[in-house]
Amino acid sequence: MKAFAAIALASAVLIGACNRSSDRQLHQSALASVQQSFSSQAAPPAPAGPADYIVDAIAVGKPTAGKLIDITWKDASGKTVRLSDYAKGKVVFLNFWATWCPPCRREIPDIVELSRDMASDVVVIGVSLDDGADAKAKVTKFATDKGITYINIVPSPTLSTKSIAEAYTIIAPINAIPTTLIFDRNGNHKQTIIGANTKSYFVEAVKKAM
């Protein structure tokens, strides 16, 4: 079973974040390079239902301090999609979470509402740190039960989502979840939110990045 603990943030006790036990710590891994062989593409049409929003991680780009790091995934139709294309011209709300994390589960409904209400200006992307052979099945069931209608990236034989979290440590260590990173329309990092929060807080944070 996964262990949960509160973490300290800015010398204060932060309630609402899951701290993974040592066996869940981000392992050191070589960062996969995003394949550059395909040209830029327009954002694909919205998936038909919650299960179609669960996508397989393929690659993560070279980390650059203060900038959105590209992530490549394969969607339900088998199409290769790159985050920089999918989110072009929009604010990015990148949420690291897991189905086993109670604070993560608690904030999901607010994130779902945010993704719907601000769809014209914001792209919400979840990165699930669930692991194991049944990770995709667990996330798919959770997404279906909760009506999640934004992209959630899950591990695949090609790439562990822990490698994505490891790449993003150049911006903020993903030592506790949920952790949310917000980037402006040009891919510049604007805010890190550690621990569960509310829709109103998220909306204000997103507006500051516009």
Query: Residue 112 sits in a domain of what CATH number?
Result: 3.40.30.10
Q: What is the pLDDT of residue 48?
A: 65
Q: Considering the domain boundaries, does residue 178 fall inside one? A: yes
Which one, of 26, 39, 14, lies nearest residue 96 by Cα? 26
Q: Considering the domain boundaries, does residue 191 fall inside one? A: yes
pTM: 0.80
Q: Considering the domain boundaries, does residue 6 fall inside one? A: no
Question: What are the pLDDT digits (tens) for 118-144?
Answer: 999 999 999 999 999 999 999 999 999
Q: What is the pLDDT of residue 44?
A: 52
Q: Considering the domain boundaries, does residue 19 fall inside one? A: no
Residue 42 CA to chain centroid, in angstroms? Answer: 20
Cα-based angle 139, 140, 146 (whole degrees, multiple of 5) = 85
Q: What is the pLDDT of residue 194?
A: 96
Range of the domain at 201: 50-209
In the chain, the number of structural domains is 1
Q: Considering the domain boundaries, does residue 40 fall inside one? A: no
